[in-house]
Homo-oligomer: A and B are copies of this chain.
Amino acid sequence: MQDPCRAREVLGIVGDKWALLVVRTLKDGPRRFTELKRAIDGISQRMLTVTLRDLERDGILTRTVHNVMPPHVSYELTEMGRTLREATAPLLEWSTTHLAHIDAARAAYDTRRPPRDHSRGTPLS
């Protein structure tokens, strides 16, 4: 492995619990804070704010304040954000094709070995 450190930095972005969901939600164009909050099921106001700030800092998206009444803030992917979204597309596609297989593998494994608690193993929401 030639660049273990750098690779881990990307995982800091991608591995973020909410980041990729935000990026995906923005793929079809700008969205407002409340729109994002509604679109991303289960995210708290605080975590949406934090995630957006991090992504803005990383240059993945832009934050634009419209000083009208009522206040209006829109978020939009940057060029780099769009390329990131494209780079993650295969992964999201992989997920939809293989998740059933993963469930089967887990079930088989848990049959062989006593099903110790796995945090990642909780079925679904």
What separation, in Å, do the CA atoms of A101 and B80 have in the docked complex? 9
**Please, how many residues of chain A have a CB less than 8 angstroms from a CB on the other chain?**
58
What separation, in Å, do the CA atoms of A24 and B56 have in the docked complex? 28
What separation, in Å, do the CA atoms of A40 and B4 have in the docked complex? 7
User: A65 at the A/B interface (Cβ < 8 Å)?
Assistant: no
User: A95 at the A/B interface (Cβ < 8 Å)?
Assistant: yes
Given A57-B106, A58-B106, CB of A12 within 8 Å of CB of B84: no
Number of chain copies forming the complex: 2
Contact flags (1/0) for A50-93 with B, using CB distance below 8 Å?
Answer: 00001011110000000000000000000010011011111111
A101 closest partner in B (C-beta):
B80
Give chain A interface residues in 90-110, CB to chain B under 8 Å: 90-96, 98-99, 101-102, 104-106, 108-110
What separation, in Å, do the CA atoms of A13 and B11 have in the docked complex? 12
What separation, in Å, do the CA atoms of A19 and B84 have in the docked complex? 20
